[in-house]
Amino acid sequence: MSGLASVESERAGSWLLLRIRGEIDISNASDVSEAIDAAVPNGTPMVAVDLTETTYLDSVGVKLLFLLVERLRVRRREFRLVVPESAPIRAVLELTGLSRLVALEDHLERDRF
């Protein structure tokens, strides 16, 4: 993966939590997508993606999230997206309509994950 972003995974009960740190843009979106695919086994019932430390997201990064939401929906997986209201990328996700497909949660509630 490029030095622009990192994807870390953590299991918490039935949940798989993915933390994406850094920038997602055209130069590394395919690497980030591959890292997410590798981290999410087929049988994972619940997935949360924490974008708290994602500092930049271009249109290719937004597309990556739309595709992830759709893929998990088709597989009937529960999905959460954590993006603080103060995060610079929150407005981008709201403008693109992603927030109509999946709720954007302000923070990670550890008792839910």
- pLDDT at residue 36 greater than cutoff 90: yes
Can you tell me the distance from the alpha carbon of 23 to that of 66, in angstroms, rounded to the nearest whole number? Answer: 17
pLDDT at site 113: 56
- Predicted TM-score of the model (pTM): 0.89
Q: What is the rounded distance in angstroms from the CA atom of residue 79 to the CA atom of residue 100?
A: 13
Give all strands (DSSP E) within 1-113, no chain letters.
5-12, 15-24, 46-50, 54-57, 78-82, 104-105
Task: Classify domain 5-105 by CATH number.
Answer: 3.30.750.24
Structural domain boundaries in the chain: 5-105
Lowest mean pLDDT among 2-11, 21-30, 76-85: 2-11
Cβ neighbour number for residue 88 with a 10 Å cutoff: 12
